[in-house]
């Protein structure tokens, strides 16, 4: 199975639907299960860590006009530039995030702590020296977006977990997220969690270290493949 597909139109799978947004997996047959999201606010629709896909523009138009494209991980440039240019909007990046600006062919605007209206506030994480990540939370509707540190795609979950911590950080999970009680959690890899999302988050953070040996045994190979492919993006 190809880790990340980089060419071809594909047959996207639309997921994570609710009144003010949806997600999509542009290439359901890739191992990495990269997921993008559209979030509707009072100022329009924000495309988060997006990949281009057939039928995407029609789905977005049903929500509203695109306000901007935002990238929340230094390894999620994806098709942000392509979609920003098509919709005539900038790519928005946290002011402290590097790498992405060199990989998008579109105007870039920086923000400090939040984007959108109502505000989607971000928390800064630097899991590794070249890996910078903004975990985003919109308090107005309880939407939490986690690009890489948490997920439901291959290489994340073990046992009966509904949310998994990435293997490289199971021994030091992002416990500062424990104060959040989201109504839904959206991920950069895999489908989101909409039922008892706060409980799923609590379990993921509390059990990450305890379940590390099992995760190491069952997901190491997958994580090595995903990491190697991400560095080439």
| Residue 9 confidence (pLDDT) above 80 | no
The answer to whether the beta carbons of residues 63 and 53 sit under 8 Å apart is: no
Token digits for 54?
């057939």
Instruction: Dump pLDDT digits (tens) for 36-93.
Output: 999 999 999 999 999 999 999 999 999 999 999 999 999 999 999 999 999 999 999 9
Strands 131-138 and 143-146: antiparallel
H-type alpha helices, the chain = 56-63, 80-87, 197-207, 212-232
d(CA 97, CA 110): 9
| Residue 224 confidence (pLDDT) above 90 | no
- φ/ψ region of 61 (left if φ > 0, alpha if ψ in -120 to 50, else beta) reads alpha
Nearest to 64 by CA among 92, 90, 40: 40
Find the mean pLDDT for residues 127-131: 80
Confidence category of residue 168, pLDDT binned at 50, 70, 90: very high
Query: Rounded to two decimals, what is the model's pTM?
Result: 0.95
pLDDT at 229: 75
Domain ranges of the chain: 13-232
Strands 108-111 and 91-94: parallel
Helix (H) or strand (E) holding 182: none
The answer to whether the beta carbons of residues 171 and 209 sit under 8 Å apart is: yes
By CB neighbour count within 10 A (0-12 exposed, 13-18 middle, 19+ buried), where does 88 fall? exposed
pLDDT at 7: 59
Q: Which fold has domain 13-232?
A: Metallo-beta-lactamase; Chain A (3.60.15)
Instruction: Provide the residue count of the chain.
Output: 233
| More confident of the two residues 142 and 7 | 142
Choose the weakest-confidence range: 27-31, 86-90, 108-112: 27-31
């Amino acid at each position: 199975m190809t880790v990340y597909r980089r060419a071809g139109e594909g047959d996207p799978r639309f997921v994570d639907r609710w009144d003010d947004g949806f997600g999509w997996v542009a290439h359901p047959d890739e191992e990495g299960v990269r997921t993008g999201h559209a979030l509707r606010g009072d100022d329009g629709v924000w495309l988060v860590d997006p990949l281009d896909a057939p039928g995407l523009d029609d789905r977005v138009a049903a929500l509203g006009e695109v306000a901007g494209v935002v990238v929340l991980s230094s390894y999620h440039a994806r098709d942000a530039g392509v979609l920003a240019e098509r919709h005539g909007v900038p790519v928005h990046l946290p002011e402290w995030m590097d790498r992405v600006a060199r990989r998008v062919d579109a105007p870039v605007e920086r923000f400090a702590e939040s984007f959108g209206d109502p505000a989607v506030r971000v928390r800064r994480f630097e899991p590794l020296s070249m890996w910078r990540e903004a975990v985003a939370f919109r308090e107005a509707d309880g939407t939490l977006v986690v690009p890489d540190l948490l997920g439901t795609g291959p290489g994340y979950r073990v046992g009966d977990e509904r949310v998994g911590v990435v293997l490289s950080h199971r021994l030091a999970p992002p416990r500062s997220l424990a104060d959040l009680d989201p109504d839904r959690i959206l991920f950069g890899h895999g489908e989101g969690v909409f039922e008892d999302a706060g409980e799923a988050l609590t379990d993921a953070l509390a059990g990450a270290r305890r379940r590390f040996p099992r995760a190491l045994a069952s997901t190491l190979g997958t994580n090595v493949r995903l990491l190697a492919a991400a560095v080439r993006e």
